Chain A
Amino acid sequence: MNRVNKKRATDTTEQTTGSAEGTQSNPGQANPRNTRVNTAAIPLAPYEVEGGAAIPLAQRCPEKTISRRSFVAAGTGAAVLAGTGCLGLSTLHQAHAADKAAAEASQLPGPLMRHSLCGACSNQCGFTAYIVDGKLTKLVGDKANPGGAGKLCARGYGYATIASSPDRLTHPLKRNLDGSFSQITWTQAYSEISEKLMSLIDVQGAEAVALMHSLHPSVSFYGRRFMAALGSPNVYAYDPPGNLSRNSGFAQVFGADTFLADIAHARLVMFVGGDPAEAVLPATLSAMQSARKSGGRIVVVDPRLTTSAIFADEWLPINPGTELAFLLSMAHVLVRLNRYDQDFIAQHTVGFEEWAEKLSQYTPQWAEEITGIPAETISRLAGEFAEKAPASVIDSAWRGVYGCAYQNSGETGRVIALFNTLLGNWNQKGGALLYPRATFGQLDATVFPVPTATGERVGDADYPLVWEEAGSSAFAIQAAREGRISAMLFYGSNVVAECPNPDYLTEALDKLDLSVVIDVQMSETAQLAHYVLPDTSYLERLEVPEIVPGKKPTVTLRDKVLDTVYEDTRPVDEIFSELARACNVGAYFTFSVEELADAQLKTVGLDLAALQAVGSAQYEGAPFAYGSLPDIATPTGKFQFSSEACVQAGYPASPEWLPPRVMPTGDRLRLIGGEQALCASTVTIDNPDLMEVIKKYRLTYPWIHATVAQRLGIKDGDEIELTSDIHSGRTRVHVTQAINPTALYLPSYYGCSVKELKEAYNVGLRQMDFVPLHLEMGYGAAMTQEVLVTIKKVGA
């Protein structure tokens, strides 16, 4: 599989296989695709005005018949009457029987149930959709889905209205000279785009063409295949600035992009940044609760008190950007006291001696100065880790504070992996788990011929440590500005609003000879494109299946839940196949997505119909067992305390203290960002349900510490002006005790500047406006928190 392994591997052994509604998950047995259910078994929302009105209300609420009828007669209308008049449960038992009778009498079809994957973020939780009269009436999380574990978050419920959103892109658009767009036909779009692509490739070679795509299953297959067919190696997996440093740093230690902390069984787990309640990871949250129940301790290291810290025993409000110093000194304590797993290190690692020697300088006292965390706390925690090892672990922290934040983030990733190595907790119960790699088998090359692109992706030479399956999106944009890339295709990657310095990015995109954006709604990036192609929403298309590694691997599937709402929109597989045909490489796209999905699934003993019936299914892949390690895909085949590649990229062989690029002083605070439960990227912000809550609870407000506020004469709710070297903006502010005084927290993805997105337009500030674009040496990440800001009260 030529695909980014972006899904967080998840522990699935404790989850029963089966859908939320108890459908048996038996992959071998082909169930009918659209499980139609008797109305009687379907919970009708008490107020279901549209769907439910078909059933006589009087029958629903026998006790209330008289008063209701009288009001119907009085012309109140059924809508008003479909109320809680019938709240009582015992009443409802009668009503239930009446419903059933009525449904049978009128032969009303029950809701259609279909399984699919959420599209609100890249965690892609599985759910069952209930559809009545072609409308989505209800979503229920699928328990068999490893990431969602039977739950959906607020975004998942809210974003489900995207299919019928009035703010969607509905037709292919071509940009005019004055920046406005004109509607064109798909035929025109394909022919003009392909013509331009072909002529650019003729002149500059396929290396001048690039694709940046968000992490959805189908585009990862079709988009990459399309680029390979054109002969271009330039594919960049785009995740709103997320885990690039972390993944790349991890890869230097153990050759894979991430591991899974066995939180549920850990006796001590530490989160260094990352909040599973804000970058919502239902399975992780559930594991945190399990850990607590069984007496495990949880420590949160974050400049801001995270929401999931409610489950933590300790919050260490570290000075942002100094996590590396904290971790180095913890490692120092383990090594100094000889409290590390010497057998494991002897057998499975290289370079320990060199690092151990370096560590001697990183005493807890040294770290206290830098991090603000007391030396005794550091010593105590390190001791506790050693005592509880191997059932103690530092979590991999999805988009944690070291995801791609500072110039030391890649190195921080290395040290986290190395600290776990000192504990010898790899694949130990309660430790750090590396699941066996799980992929689909080879497809029949006569039906699915494989195109190959030669050459090196632009940026890989400049940033040799970059996680190879992702590539440096930020560098691709720089390359566009420098003219090394002259045509770019974007699939749902709103890089202009989500990467540092939108002004710079805008300039870079303006330099492109051809830019095409495929998306569901207009975006900051799409506004700059020459062509904008309307995608179907995640609810309106079948995608290729995906494998989530685990104790047993699980296959998940995004299925078509609703019929296409806007006729002129097309699914991603169709767009790339048709574009390929227009570019004369259609030979690689002679199959339908159904055929492809079915063929992929057959390689793991499943088929499409069977998977559609259950949504998520486990299969027998490479076995996982506690105590056994998979192959370590580093050059040495071992866990690497020292890395030759790092030396080549200009880093020390084993990690050392590297201060952030800038450090807060006085009233210059570090601007830190983050996801929120209601806003994980710009994808979901244009949503009336979510925006109402965001505004009501002031979720766009930045946080500052109470002492800072007092010093500057700022009160909670005051309007402030926020200024960095490159940008300035006004907002109201939240004053709190729950943040490190050297930090200012601004939720990352507000401040939408697209007028067409009526809900989101101009709400809040955009973090990236304030951040200059510099790339992390070697790792190529965007360093989103290397910026200082000052604030002052407006009018003061």
Chain B
Amino acid sequence: MSTFEPVWGPLIAGYLFLAGLGAGAFVFAFLLQKSAPHAFKIRRFAHILSPIAVVCGLVLLLIDATGALHNPLKLILLFSNDQSVMTWGVYFLIVFLIISVTVMVIDLKKNYLIPRFLSVLGVILSFCVALYTGVLLGVCNTFPLWNNALLPPFFLMSALSAGGASLLLYGALFAPEELSEVAALKKLQLPLAVIELLFLAALLIITSHNSSAGAASIAMLVAGTWSPWFWIGLVLCGLLLPIIADARSLIFSAKAHTESAALRYTDIGINVLALGGGFLLRFLIVMAAVPLAIAT
């Protein structure tokens, strides 16, 4: 008899999600600089969102880390162990925050010319942050669901997708006039979601063949405790519906989106779903991991 209760829960899933979201938003802001130079509002939102999402994520991490709440000064120690993935993550997050806050301040001062080196550096760190969220879990070698090379790129794709979805959601709600400008961004969402779906399928298949613990994890997802969340929440709402909607919207012109209220509401709904799917992905991966049995 061995009953395993996950050590980490929704708070850490939220942290992983928000860090990825912030990174994804930053990357898209960079892309919009070239492809949609006039989508000021959306870009500014992206610049504001990236540091804020990351900070919110860190707050969740701290709420989970009750020892730090007892004594916040302990947090200085987070930089101590250069072998710890979490320490790397803290470095990535700090540098990312410095850059993204700088960029945000520049943007808020109505200065639309973000220094190029800053943007590029920020994009590189965005990738680091997004990948880190997968590596953090990946180094835990007793959990087959985590301990594989698929997870970091999977989380990266999901981070980009969530970043994009958040910008599109903002656009649909508050800056519909800019939506036609960011059509390129919208077109990226479809391949991202499809790649995510493929990653998910690969993760399921490979992990279920990895070990009995891996199979148990997958069973929990597809047929066990978490199966409703997995099939309806993640696969259907978080991935398939956005894919269908994105594919459909390719048929309509960007202009139609600006003008048709129905399409606008669909956009809002789909992006909310995509964001929910992004969180659910982290949550399910965190909760369904079963450790290798230590003694058989």
Contact = CB atoms under 8 A, between A and B. Distances in A.
Chains A, B in direct contact (C-beta < 8 Å): yes
Contacts of B73: 71, 74-75
Contacts of B74: 71, 74, 76
B1 A71 contact: no
A80 B1 contact: no
A602 interface: no
Interface string A687-728: 000000000011000000000000000000000000000000
Nearest to A73: B73
A74 B1 contact: no
A84 to B, nearest CB: 14
Nearest to A80: B70
A186 B83 CA distance: 67
Contacts of A76: 70-71, 74
17 contacts: A71-B71, A71-B73, A71-B74, A74-B71, A74-B73, A74-B74, A75-B71, A75-B73, A76-B70, A76-B71, A76-B74, A77-B70, A80-B67, A80-B70, A80-B71, A697-B1, A698-B1
Interface in A28-86: 71, 74-77, 80
A485 to B, nearest CB: 47
A71 B71 CA distance: 9
Nearest to B71: A76
Nearest to A76: B71
A724 B1 CA distance: 29
Contacts of B67: 80
Interface in A75-100: 75-77, 80
Contacts of A697: 1
Interface string A520-533: 00000000000000
Given A75-B71, A80-B70, A80-B71, 14 more contacts: A71-B71, A71-B73, A71-B74, A74-B71, A74-B73, A74-B74, A75-B73, A76-B70, A76-B71, A76-B74, A77-B70, A80-B67, A697-B1, A698-B1
- Which of A74, A77, A698 is most buried by chain B, counting CB atoms within 10 A of its CB? A74
Interface string B53-96: 00000000000000100110110000000000000000000000
Interface in B1-21: 1
Contacts of A77: 70
Nearest to A79: B70
3 closest A-B pairs by CB = A74-B73, A76-B71, A74-B71
Contacts of B70: 76-77, 80
A697 B2 CA distance: 9
A160 B65 CA distance: 34
A530 B246 CA distance: 78
B213 to A, nearest CB: 19
Interface residues of B, number: 6
A331 to B, nearest CB: 41
A784 to B, nearest CB: 28
A75 B70 CA distance: 9
Interface residues of A, number: 8
Chain B interface SS verdict (over half): helix
Contacts of A71: 71, 73-74
B143 to A, nearest CB: 22
A776 B70 CA distance: 63
Interface string A719-741: 00000000000000000000000
Nearest to A75: B71
Interface in B149-177: none
A74 B76 CA distance: 12
Contacts of A75: 71, 73
Contacts of A698: 1
Nearest to A697: B1
Nearest to B76: A74
Interface string A158-169: 000000000000
A74 B67 CA distance: 14
Nearest to B73: A74
Interface string B241-274: 0000000000000000000000000000000000
A71 B73 CA distance: 9
A75 B69 CA distance: 12
A77 B73 CA distance: 13
Contacts of A74: 71, 73-74
A71 B68 CA distance: 12
A693 to B, nearest CB: 13
A75 B73 CA distance: 9
A467 B36 CA distance: 98
Nearest to A734: B1
Nearest to A696: B3
Contacts of B1: 697-698
B152 to A, nearest CB: 33
A74 to B, nearest CB: 4
B71 to A, nearest CB: 5
A73 to B, nearest CB: 9
A698 B2 CA distance: 11
A76 B71 CA distance: 6
B133 to A, nearest CB: 29
A6 B60 CA distance: 60
Nearest to B67: A80
Contacts of A80: 67, 70-71
B145 to A, nearest CB: 23
A259 to B, nearest CB: 38
Interface in B186-224: none
B149 to A, nearest CB: 35
A777 B250 CA distance: 91
A80 B71 CA distance: 10
A92 B105 CA distance: 54
A734 to B, nearest CB: 9
B219 to A, nearest CB: 15
B17 to A, nearest CB: 31
Nearest to A67: B77
A697 B3 CA distance: 9
- Which of A76, A697, A698 is most buried by chain B, counting CB atoms within 10 A of its CB? A76
A71 B67 CA distance: 13
A589 to B, nearest CB: 54
A592 to B, nearest CB: 51
A80 B73 CA distance: 14
A271 B73 CA distance: 62
Nearest to A698: B1
B66 to A, nearest CB: 12
B216 to A, nearest CB: 15
A77 B67 CA distance: 12
A698 B1 CA distance: 10
B242 to A, nearest CB: 39
A455 B97 CA distance: 92
A76 B75 CA distance: 12
A697 B1 CA distance: 8
A71 B77 CA distance: 11
Nearest to B72: A74
Nearest to A716: B1
B283 to A, nearest CB: 25
A316 B67 CA distance: 54
A247 B149 CA distance: 68
Contacts of B71: 71, 74-76, 80
A70 to B, nearest CB: 9
A391 B265 CA distance: 90
A80 B70 CA distance: 9
A118 B67 CA distance: 38
A697 B73 CA distance: 39
A712 to B, nearest CB: 21
A646 B74 CA distance: 78
B170 to A, nearest CB: 41
B201 to A, nearest CB: 31
A80 to B, nearest CB: 7
B70 to A, nearest CB: 7
A77 B74 CA distance: 12
A71 B76 CA distance: 11
B214 to A, nearest CB: 22
A189 B227 CA distance: 63
A658 B74 CA distance: 74
A83 to B, nearest CB: 11
